[in-house]
Amino acid sequence: MFKLANQVIDIYDDTSKEGMLKLAKLNPTCNVISAEERAKLGDHDFALTVITKKAAKLNRYPIYDTDSTWLSNQYFDMYSHRLPVEAQKIAAQNLMVACAKFKVAPSDAIVKLASGKKSEGVLANAKLASSNVYYEQDGAVKPVNRTVRVDMSKLAQVEDIGSNYTHAQYAMPTTIHVKMAAKYLAENESKIPLELRHKYAAAVQRRSHELGMGKQSGVISKYASDHYSPMVDAHIKARASLLESQPELKALVTKLGSAKKQYTPSQFAQLLHGFDKQAGLDRCYGSHLQNPYQATFASEPDPYMGYRYKTASQTVMEGDELAKLVTVKYAKIKEYFGELLASELRRDPTTIFESLPRDAKEIIVGMADGTH
């Protein structure tokens, strides 16, 4: 059985320095970066990336500059026979591109395997992040079938994508797979644990960026985004308003809100989630509060934002009319949502209203024309 991890393939596998000593005589000034520097390189800086059966990632044949390309050219010539033919071909194609870019004469083995075909390769098109990727199978390394539908029906698959980014790359090799993954979250949002929704969405966003698709919107952006929602402060105030009887917790969430600039949106959302669980506020998601990820990340525009609220009869209600509504309909709001929320709405209608889930907003605004 072929196991790449146990083979000398390129210079960084050559711990005995057998090949290195031979090459030092041919090119004594050739620079070799340290293993630590190599670890900082991206996948596209290598001619071959192999994903093992245990979802480990092995990058081979660095091609980020002239010296690395020359060395990989030589090591390929000496040791590529240890690779299965399919892996040899993909490495050869990308080495051929690198040789052309850095003006290095390709070895006969590379020329023969590349067969003179024109290939964009990883250097010519970095968006094709999986163009140098092969997947270890029983007996050989084989390329992924890019039209195969990945089974997204099991929660275990979602967990693997959220917790292991190498697996996420395997599960989403193309833009089509990224769209499938985004669609899956949209269709199964309520079935996936909240924290896992965030990890899964973050992996989809990262993979989308790698494949040149830009940031995903819709449900994905509700759980993973680089941008704060403009209503984060309102969501923090909504939480504080539910903790009047627990001043220490109220002070803690207020402090967290004031410190959000110290954190990325993802870090802040996870901290807020931890706080909500500690304070027991996670029981209020979907009724009095939005969950911490939706509260933190900027998502699709909310038709109720901007202090102009459209009723079911399509009439428009300004901010001062909202304030009047929550006073006049106080008893009904209390009946629907409880005394605490009704009182907070009456005290600070704009802030509290903006922090509510969309369906709760629709119910309250619907009271203006009798639809609720």
Does residue 121 have a pLDDT over 90?
no
Looking at residue 100, its amino acid is A
By the 8 A CB rule, do 338 and 351 touch?
Answer: no
Q: Is 141 helix (H, G, I), strand (E, B) or coil?
A: strand
Taking the C-alpha atoms of residue 48 and residue 153, their distance in angstroms, rounded to an integer, is 31
DSSP 187-251: HHGGGS-HHHHHHHHHHHHHHHHHTT-----HHHHHH--SSB-TTHHHHHHHHHHTTTT-HHHHH
Does residue 291 have a pLDDT over 80?
yes
Taking the C-alpha atoms of residue 91 and residue 87, their distance in angstroms, rounded to an integer, is 6
Q: Structure tokens of 322?
A: 């909202």
CA–CA–CA angle 71, 77, 82 (5° rounding): 115
Looking at residue 40, its amino acid is K
> Could you tell me which of 183, 152, 185, 147 has the C-alpha nearest to residue 167?
152
Q: Is residue 340 part of a domain?
A: yes
**33 shares its domain with 108:** yes
**290 shares its domain with 339:** no
pLDDT tens digits for range 38-80: 888 888 889 888 876 666 678 889 999 999 999 999 888 888 8
The pLDDT, as a whole number, for residue 135 is 63
**75 shares its domain with 195:** no
| Residue where one domain finishes, among candidates 276, 296, 316 | 296
**98 shares its domain with 133:** yes
**184 shares its domain with 81:** no
The pLDDT, as a whole number, for residue 145 is 40
Neighbours of 191 (CB within 10 A): 10
The pLDDT, as a whole number, for residue 126 is 32
**31 shares its domain with 125:** yes
**59 shares its domain with 115:** yes
CA terminus-to-terminus distance, the chain: 68
Q: Is residue 301 part of a domain?
A: no
**8 shares its domain with 89:** yes
Buried b (16+ CB within 10 A) or exposed e, 104-121: bebbebbeebbeeeebeb
| Residue where one domain finishes, among candidates 167, 202, 221 | 221
Taking the C-alpha atoms of residue 197 and residue 220, their distance in angstroms, rounded to an integer, is 9
The pLDDT, as a whole number, for residue 221 is 87
Selected residue with higher pLDDT from 263 and 54? 263
**215 shares its domain with 246:** no
Q: Is residue 226 part of a domain?
A: no
**159 class by beta-carbon count within 10 Å (0-12 exposed, 13-18 middle, 19+ buried):** middle
Looking at residue 1, its amino acid is M
Q: Are strands 140-142 and 57-62 parallel, antiparallel or unpaired?
A: unpaired
Q: Is residue 354 part of a domain?
A: yes
- In the structure, what pLDDT confidence band is assigned to residue 8 with cuts at 50, 70 and 90? confident
Q: Is residue 71 part of a domain?
A: yes
Neighbours of 258 (CB within 10 A): 11
* Domain with 164 in it: 155-221
Q: What mean pLDDT comes out for the span 184-205?
A: 90
Q: Structure tokens of 255?
A: 């402090």
**119 shares its domain with 28:** yes
- For residue 62, list its beta bridge partners: 46
The pLDDT, as a whole number, for residue 137 is 57
Number of domains making up the chain: 4
The sign of the CA dihedral 156, 157, 158, 164 is positive
Q: Is residue 207 part of a domain?
A: yes
| Residue where one domain finishes, among candidates 194, 221, 248 | 221
Highest mean pLDDT, choosing among 153-167, 255-269, 332-346: 255-269
pLDDT tens digits for range 78-103: 888 888 888 888 888 889 888 888 89
Residues 6+ apart with CB under 8 A from 327: 346
**128 shares its domain with 45:** yes
**279 shares its domain with 312:** no
